[in-house]
């Protein structure tokens, strides 16, 4: 993929997505248990999973789901996410709306955010909810990894929308990526070379998402963009102080990496690095206070572990009811790996815990 990119034949992410879809020739088939249809919500493609009505049931609960993949890979239509959403619909007896937002490199930040926000707001209209027989008081927004990033950002935006009459009851974030401020949290240091999502890969996903130059990778890795002399970062520093937000069991013996002098021009050229729509963990307390009851799943063997843990702590400090569901023996991305030949026990374990919380809370 990278050789093809280097030769300028195509972008490596386009090639990688082509490979993923080539090995994933899934044709969805509606069954007696779940009716699966594709639709367009305010210009955004979605896949809707609808279980049949039971008895005298009139309204169902619902989950808006946003898939992961570094804002660049996968799809609501791939077998892994199709399978997850179908099982969610069956297990919860809920209407699941899986958002097919546009990907890097076709579009960059903030277009993925706008796609997801538009689709969600469209679905939250009373007449649309009625069309799908959804209870307006029992809707969750959820996503994994980059999808968790988009779910958190959209939930923050919805919470501040005074014109919106129906808002999510819950948000459920699965190993979400929530900030590009500090790439040296304890989990980034501990898991820097961990398979599935090494630190340099996560940094490259950010670079692609915010349309930056790969030459900035090293500066980002050592936190030059948020050094003490970078004035734009000053107001955000306290919101991501992991020395106070993380428990000692996560901090271990790791030390903060804070440069005295850095490169302020990085933030001037790429303001998205400090945009709360890209990094929901940067949000002010006034926004966090508006968030609904929240579930956050984290894995020990994951560079993004501390993003989720810090967000859970900040939400709790703001008065939000939060369930932090941490798995010591699991890894980033594990929840979608439940189908042969990647049917891992970590996937079954995390998926069951996630669905159980939704079932009890929604």
Q: Are 192 and 303 in contact (CB under 8 A)?
A: yes
Nearest CA to 107 out of 115, 118, 117 is that of: 115
Q: Is there a catalytic annotation at residue 332?
A: yes
- Is it the case that residue 91 has pLDDT exceeding 90? yes
pLDDT in tens, 24-34: 555 454 566 89
Residue 31's pLDDT is 61
pLDDT given at position 343: 77
Residues 6+ apart with CB under 8 A from 140: 61, 62, 63, 64, 168, 169, 170, 171, 172, 358, 362
Question: For residue 148, is pLDDT > 70?
Answer: yes
Residue 340, pLDDT score:
66
Least confident of 7-11, 124-128, 183-187: 7-11
320 vs 341, more confident? 320
Range of lowest pLDDT (128-142, 225-239, 335-349): 335-349
Mean pLDDT of 222-233: 96
Query: Mean pLDDT lowest for which of 41-55, 250-264, 278-292, 333-347?
Result: 333-347
Binned at pLDDT 50, 70 and 90, residue 20 comes out as very low
Provide mean pLDDT across the span 38-45.
Answer: 98
Of the pLDDT bands very low, low, confident and very high (cuts 50, 70, 90), residue 11 is low
Mean pLDDT of the chain: 92
Query: Residue 293 gets which letter from DSSP?
Result: E
pLDDT at 56: 79
Rounded (10°) angle between helices 345-361 and 79-92: 40
pLDDT at 7 over 50: no
Which of 144, 208, 302, 306 is the catalytic position? 302
Report the pLDDT value the prediction gives residue 217, as an integer from 0 to 100. Answer: 96
Distance, first Cα to last Cα, the chain: 42
Q: 268 vs 7, which has greater pLDDT? A: 268
Name the residue with higher pLDDT: 293 or 1.
Answer: 293
Query: Is residue 338 within 8 Å of 351, Cβ to Cβ?
Result: yes
Average pLDDT over residues 41-66: 94
More confident residue, 5 or 76: 76
Is 307 catalytic? The answer is: no
Q: In this predicted structure, what is the pLDDT of residue 10? A: 39
Tell me: domain 2-180+272-361, CATH 3.40.50.720, correct?
no
> How confident is the model over 152-156, as a mean pLDDT?
98
pTM here is 0.93
pLDDT category at 53 given cuts 50, 70, 90 is: confident
Using alpha carbons, select from 292, 323, 330, 38 the residue that is nearest to residue 164: 292
Whether pLDDT at 305 is above 70 = yes
Give the angle 288-291-292 at the CA atoms, nearest 5°. 155
Q: Give yes or no for a contact between 100 and 75, defined as CB atoms under 8 angstroms apart.
A: yes
Per-residue pLDDT, 30 = 52
What is the arithmetic mean of pLDDT over 219-231? Answer: 97
Question: If we measure between CA atoms, which residue out of 51, 332, 361 comes closest to residue 174?
Answer: 332
Flag whether pLDDT at 42 surpasses 80.
Answer: yes
Please determine, for residue 237, whether its predicted confidence score (pLDDT) is greater than 90. Answer: yes
Q: Is 284 helix (H, G, I), strand (E, B) or coil?
A: coil
Q: Is residue 298 within 8 Å of residue 175, measured between CB atoms? A: yes
**pLDDT at residue 99 greater than cutoff 70:** yes
Does the annotation count 302 as an active-site position?
yes
**Structure tokens that stand for 2 in this block:** 């990278």
Q: What is the pLDDT of residues 337-354, one digit of tens each?
A: 887 667 788 999 999 999
* Alpha carbon distances (Å) from 260 to 185, 239, 240, 355: 17, 19, 17, 45
Tell me which of 145, 159, 225, 325 is the catalytic residue.
145
Among 27-36, 134-143, 198-207, 278-287, the range scoring the smallest mean pLDDT is: 27-36
Q: What is the mean pLDDT of residues 225-246?
A: 96
Q: How far apart are CA 48 and CA 222, in angstroms?
A: 42
């Amino acid at each position: 993929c990278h050789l093809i990119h280097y030769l300028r034949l195509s972008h490596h992410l386009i090639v990688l997505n082509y490979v993923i879809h080539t090995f994933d020739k899934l044709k969805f088939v509606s069954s007696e248990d779940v009716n699966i249809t594709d639709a367009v919500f305010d210009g955004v493609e979605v896949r809707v999973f609808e279980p049949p009505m039971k008895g005298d049931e009139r309204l169902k609960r619902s989950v808006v789901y946003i898939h992961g993949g570094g804002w660049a890979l996968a799809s609501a239509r791939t077998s892994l996410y199709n399978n997850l959403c179908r099982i969610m619909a069956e297990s919860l007896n809920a209407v699941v709306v899986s958002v097919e937002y546009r990907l890097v490199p076709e579009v960059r930040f903030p277009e993925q955010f706008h796609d997801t926000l538009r689709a969600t707001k469209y679905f939250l209209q009373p007449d649309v909810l009625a069309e799908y027989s959804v209870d307006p008081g029992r809707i969750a927004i959820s996503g994994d990894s980059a999808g968790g990033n988009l779910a958190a950002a959209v939930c923050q935006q919805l919470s501040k929308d005074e014109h919106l009459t129906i808002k999510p009851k819950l948000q459920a974030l699965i190993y979400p990526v929530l900030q590009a401020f500090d790439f040296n949290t304890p989990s980034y240091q501990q898991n820097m070379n961990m398979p599935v999502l090494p630190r340099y890969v996560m940094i490259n996903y950010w670079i692609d998402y915010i349309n930056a130059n790969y030459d900035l990778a090293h500066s980002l890795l050592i936190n030059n963009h948020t050094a003490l002399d970078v004035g734009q970062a000053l107001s955000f520093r306290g919101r991501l102080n992991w020395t106070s937000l993380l428990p000692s069991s996560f901090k271990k013996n790791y030390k903060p990496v804070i440069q005295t002098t850095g490169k302020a021009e990085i933030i001037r050229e790429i303001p998205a690095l400090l945009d709360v729509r890209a990094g929901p963990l940067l949000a002010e307390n006034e926004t966090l206070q508006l968030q609904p009851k929240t579930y956050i799943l984290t894995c020990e063997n994951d560079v993004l572990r501390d993003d989720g843990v810090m967000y859970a702590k900040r939400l709790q400090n703001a008065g939000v009811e939060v369930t932090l569901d941490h798995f010591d023996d699991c890894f980033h991305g594990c929840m979608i790996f439940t189908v042969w030949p990647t049917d891992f026990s970590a996937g079954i374990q995390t998926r069951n815990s996630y669905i159980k919380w939704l079932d009890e809370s929604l």
